């Protein structure tokens, strides 16, 4: 199993929306996915409550000591990918999530406050030797500010831009918030949109970064009894169904 954590000290950078988008893109690619929420604000839990489909499961885990145990449980059950959404700021839970992750994604909007706020998360990732990458999120469609922000992040990490700043950048569009309010990912709400294309592209970048691939004979995940999950719901079925629902609503 692989684990991705989205973390940054700055609130409002879009960690939860990115976690949802990446989770659904991974499911579409054939991975079994679980979401862990360490943010007591409950954005992912609230999203799941509005959702018509059982997948992906969201499990709140606020105790730092429980994160490793839940990851081990997922791994034993055959889960292929876990994505952890963290709260803004620094906490024991965020540190534990970064420690046990295979990749730490650090979202940042293209402004000086967000870029400066990435330093503490970057420090933790380096302390635990966790691979990391920045995600430029909620960007304008075009402009010098975006390229300047990408360069600043690469300079901060003292690494090559292509290896440390994920591609593509995620542009600020209403599709993301509209999907969130409907209990959907943007790829379900507006599957033919530029927003969906960008998130799918980001997943492909992450997939390549982690060298992920799906084996044809990969076993179905066997979950602990505490999860109220309908495993007979095929990911492709609910992706198609939700796309049709979104199309009918538009």
Which stretches does DSSP call E strand in the chain? Answer: 2-6, 33-37, 57-60, 81-85, 103-108, 132-139, 170-171
The conformational region for residue 115 under phi > 0 = left, psi -120 to 50 = alpha, else beta, is alpha
What pTM does this model have? 0.81
Handedness of CA 175, 181, 182, 187 (dihedral sign): positive
In whole angstroms, give the CA distance from residue 247 to residue 125.
41
Q: What is the largest CA-CA distance in the chain?
A: 51
Q: Which domains does the chain have, with CATH numbers?
A: 2-106+172-249 (3.40.50.300)
Q: What is the residue-level pLDDT of the chain in tens, covering all 250 positions?
A: 999 999 998 888 899 999 999 999 999 999 999 999 999 999 999 999 999 999 999 999 999 999 999 999 999 999 999 999 999 988 999 999 999 999 999 999 888 888 888 999 999 999 999 999 999 898 887 666 667 676 777 666 655 555 688 999 999 999 999 999 999 999 999 999 999 999 999 999 999 999 876 543 445 544 443 333 333 333 334 344 444 444 444 4
Which stretches does DSSP call E strand in 115-194? Answer: 132-139, 170-171
Tokens 């963290």 identify what position? 86
């Amino acid at each position: 199993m692989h684990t991705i954590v989205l973390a940054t000290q700055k609130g409002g950078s879009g960690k939860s929306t990115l976690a949802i988008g990446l989770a659904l893109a991974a499911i579409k690619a054939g991975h079994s996915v679980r979401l862990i929420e360490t943010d007591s604000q409950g954005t992912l839990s609230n999203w799941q409550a509005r959702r018509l489909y059982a997948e992906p499961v969201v499990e709140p885990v606020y105790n730092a000591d429980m994160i490793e145990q839940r990851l081990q449980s997922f791994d034993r059950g055959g889960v292929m990918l876990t994505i952890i959404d963290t709260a803004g700021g620094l906490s024991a839970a965020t540190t534990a999530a970064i420690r046990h992750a295979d990749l730490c994604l650090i979202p940042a909007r293209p402004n000086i406050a967000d870029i400066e706020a990435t330093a503490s998360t970057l420090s933790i990732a380096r302390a635990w030797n966790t691979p990391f990458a920045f995600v430029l999120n909620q960007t304008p469609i075009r402009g010098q500010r975006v390229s300047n922000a990408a360069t600043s992040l690469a300079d901060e990490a003292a690494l090559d831009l292509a290896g440390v700043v994920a591609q593509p950048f995620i542009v600020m569009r209403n599709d993301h918030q509209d999907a969130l309010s409907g209990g959907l990912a943007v790829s379900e709400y507006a599957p033919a949109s530029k927003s969906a294309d960008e998130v799918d592209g980001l997943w492909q970048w992450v997939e390549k970064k982690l060298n992920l691939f799906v084996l044809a004979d990969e076993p179905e995940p066997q979950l602990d009894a505490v999860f109220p999950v309908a495993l007979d719901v095929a990911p492709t079925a609910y992706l198609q169904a939700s796309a049709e629902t979104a199309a009918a609503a538009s």
